[in-house]
Structure formats: structure tokens, C-alpha cells
Amino acid sequence: MRFELSRLRTAPGRPFRLTGQEPLSSVEWWGEDLPLVGAVEVQASAFFQEERVFVTLEVSGRVRRRCSRCLAEMVEAFHHRDFLEVPVAGTGAYLELRPLVESGVRLALSSRPLCRPDCKGICPACGADLNRGDHRPGCEATRPHGDPRLEKLKDLL
């Protein structure tokens, strides 16, 4: 998706609208490639003023990733709205929205996605997936008084 700059320039201050889909196959997220489920829905409005374009950009869609607690595969729905100021002096005939859409999706993604709000995650001590069942037998995390070495120390004192 893109805005034609010559049209925007003919009417400074007047907003032009674009609605459509940006076909992104994946988005880069901290060195990881997250696949998108379907296209990104985009609603954009832009106007030209003094060699700048002011863009209101709304992106929404769904992305495939892993739960930050239990690592299960999940789909995160995202929605993000941004107001951007893009300098366009000396640029080409178009304002391409794709890079703006990509950064909008990145900003929309949760830094700690959860497969469900009450995900119990994986026990750091025994590695059991606590959504599926209990700790492994003898797991330190299930001992009532925590670190056994501290218990011995208390006995000595």
C-alpha cells in the first residue's frame, strides 16, 4: 500500500485515506521471524504539510508465536494505532506504507505473550509443564520450606 505524494501535495492539509491489506508473510521480532496468519489489515490517513506527511496508521492482524511462560505455540491478535511524521523532501513519487506497517506490527506485539491469562508455565526447578500436570517427584519447588541447605543451617543455629 502507498500514498501518491503528488496528489497529497496538491492539497496541503487535506487528509487522504487508504484502507486495505498489506501482505506480510512474517515480521522480525528480536532476531526471530514470526509468521503472520493472513494479511495485516491497514487503515491509513495522511496529509501533506511543509515537506512532511502526517500519517495516522492503524494495523491489526494475527501472528504465530510462542507463549513466554510455557513455550506452547499460540496465535496473538494485535492492534496498534500510531501517529507518524514522515519527512518526504527529495523522496520518490510514493510514500510506501510497508515499512511503517512493519514497525507498527512490531510495536503492537506483546513483549510477554501468554497462551492464556492464567498460564502456569514451566517449573524452573523440574521442567514440568504445570498446565498439563504436577511437578516431577522430588521437585525442589514443592518443598514447603524452600532451600534445604538453609534448613540445615537453621538446625545448627
In the complex, which residues of this chain contact Zn ion (CB under 5 A)? Answer: 67, 69-70, 72, 115, 119, 123, 125-126, 135, 139, 141
Cβ closer to Zn ion: 42 or 65?
Answer: 65
Q: Length of the chain in residues, anyone?
A: 157
* Shortest reach from residue 109's CB to Zn ion, in Å: 16
Residue 113: CB minimum distance to Zn ion, A: 9
At its nearest, how many Å lie between Zn ion and the CB of residue 140?
A: 7
The residue (of 88 and 123) whose beta carbon lies closer to Zn ion is: 123
Whose cell is 508465536? That residue is 65
Q: What backbone torsions phi and psi does residue 142 show, to the nearest 5 degrees? A: -95, -5
3-state helix, strand, coil in the chain (%, to 5): 20, 45, 40
Separation in Å, CA 135 to CA 17, 81, 139, 145, 157: 55, 42, 6, 16, 31
- Considering the complex, state which of residue 19 and residue 142 has its C-beta at the smaller distance from Zn ion: 142
Question: 118: how many CB neighbours lie within 10 A of its CB?
Answer: 7
Q: Which is nearer to Zn ion, 77 or 141 (CB)?
A: 141
Residue with smaller CB distance to Zn ion, 86 or 126: 126
Whether the Cβ atoms of residue 18 and residue 55 lie closer than 8 Å to each other: no
C-alpha cell at 4: 501518491
CB of 108 to Zn ion, least distance (A): 20
Q: How far is the CB of 63 from Zn ion (least distance, A)?
A: 16
Strands 94-96 and 2-4: antiparallel
